[in-house]
Amino acid sequence: MEIRTVGVVGAGQMGSGIAQVAAQAGYGVVLVDVSESVLERALSTIRRSLGKFLEKGRITQEDHEATLGRIRTSLRLEDLAEADLIVEAIVEDEGAKRALWERLGALAKGEAILASNTSSIPITALARYSGAPERFIGMHFFNPVPLMPLVEVIRGALTAEATRDRVVEAARRMGKTPLEVQDYPGFVSNRLLMPMINEAIEALREGVATKEAIDGVMRLGMNHPMGPLELADFIGLDTCLAIMEVLHRGFGDDKYRPSPLLRRMVQAGLLGRKTGRGFYTYDEKGNKVG
């Protein structure tokens, strides 16, 4: 069965980007969230991103309009009943994802591919909640989705090869490079990235250097496009903490202990760019102002 319609659940930073690249690839897209204002913000983010591509001549005015025309938004999960591929990108919380996948698994059509964009939660567990583990897979995009070329593809213990093949093909059609990894905590990406970010936060907590110096060391010394504290703000500190918790629990090793400073900032609601304040402060457009 050919994939024609892609359903995306969760219209935050990642869901909006996934909806955009799916629509750019020519798929019909249904983008679902629990909040109308989040859906409106997602559409304006997509318009802004397509606008940048248009300015640079990477797409035409026609592509711009056709892409937007392929995206429908909805507050009803039932509108995903006809989707051929569903990509879930809600908050990084196993309980929330479990509740969602129990509903989605029951309402999706029998041959639909079920994918999670989770950063770290075991695909094998989410697959079980969906009730269709052979059709379930991890399809992990990177932020900002319209620019980052990678999709990490993660098969759960019971994922069928045919499911993997179809997701690999869909990722390629979206202009991405799929790389397959096994279902272990944090997969490959966040097993490597998040301990570095966590260690940068610990260095800040211990007063080893200022935040600007810590970020500068990695930007200027390692050629990273963003320093680790800037990147943590960009990802979302709630997501960073959730990933560290999964690594810590999943490996049972204290080398993955989340930094108490990270925990305290999440408790204070300082989640980074998406809330306007994290290690740095941001204006309403997401530009760093301090």
Ligand X SMILES: CC(=O)CC(=O)SCCNC(=O)CCNC(=O)[C@H](O)C(C)(C)COP(=O)(O)OP(=O)(O)OC[C@H]1O[C@@H](n2cnc3c(N)ncnc32)[C@H](O)[C@@H]1OP(=O)(O)O
Helix runs in the chain, H state only: 13-24, 36-55, 61-69, 94-107, 123-130, 161-173, 189-205, 211-216, 222, 228-235, 237-251, 260-267
Q: Note if 190 is an active site residue.
A: yes
Query: At closest approach, how far in Å is the CB of 17 from ligand X?
Result: 7
Instruction: State the helix-helix crossing angle for 189-205 and 228-235, rounded to 10 degrees.
Output: 120
- Give the separation between CA 135 and CA 159, rounded to whole angstroms: 6
Query: Of 1-9, 65-73, 225-233, 262-270, which segment contacts ligand X by CB under 6 A?
Result: 225-233
Buried b (16+ CB within 10 A) or exposed e, 175-213: ebebbebebebbbebbbebbbebbebbbbbeeeeeebee
Residue 192 binding partner per list ligand X, ligand NDP, none, with a CB distance cut-off of 5 to 8 Å that depends on partner kind:
none
Backbone region of residue 276 per phi and psi (left: phi > 0; alpha: psi in -120 to 50; beta: other values): left
- SS3 for 39-56, per residue? HHHHHHHHHHHHHHHHHC
- Contact string 140-159 vs ligand NDP (x = CB under 6 A): xxxx----------------
Considering the complex, state which of residue 5 and residue 239 has its C-beta at the smaller distance from ligand X. 239
Q: Is 87 left (phi over 0), alpha (psi -120 to 50) or beta?
A: beta
Window of 47-55, 79-87, 139-147, 253-261 that interacts with ligand NDP by CB under 6 A: 139-147
119 is catalytic: yes
* 34-93: contacts with ligand NDP (CB under 6 A): 34-35, 38, 89-92
288 binds ligand X (CB under 6 A): no
- By CB under 6 A, name the one of 239, 244, 265, 278 that touches ligand NDP: 239
**Which of 140, 189, 198, 245 does the annotation list as catalytic?**
140
Dist. CA 16–CA 213, nearest whole Å? 32
Contact flag: residue 192 with ligand NDP (CB under 6 A): no
Of 175, 167, 174, 95, residue with least CA distance to 136? 167
**Site size for ligand X (CB under 6 A):** 18
Mark whether 198 is an active-site residue: no
Which 226-265 residues touch ligand X, going by CB under 6 A?
226, 231, 235, 239
Contact between 235 and ligand NDP per CB under 6 A: yes
Interaction partner, residue 178 (ligand X, ligand NDP, none; CB < 5-8 Å by kind): none
152 classed as catalytic:
yes
Smallest distance, ligand NDP to C-beta of residue 132, A: 19
Measured distance CA(61)–CA(71) in Å, rounded: 16
**Residues 81-140 within binding reach of ligand X (CB under 6 A):** 119
**Which two structure tokens, joined as six digits, stand for 97?**
């994802």
Give the C-alpha distances (Å, rounded to integers) separating 90 from 53, 95, 128. 26, 11, 18
Say which of 116, 117, 119, 130 is annotated catalytic: 119
Of 149, 225, 252, 290, the one binding ligand X by CB under 6 A: 225
The answer to whether the CB of 22 falls within 8 A of the CB of 89 is: no
Residues that bind ligand NDP (CB under 6 A): 9-15, 33-35, 38, 89-92, 96, 100, 117-119, 140-143, 235-236, 239, 274
Residues that bind ligand X (CB under 6 A): 49, 52-53, 119, 142-144, 146-148, 189-190, 193, 225-226, 231, 235, 239
- What are the residue numbers of the active site? 119, 140, 152, 190
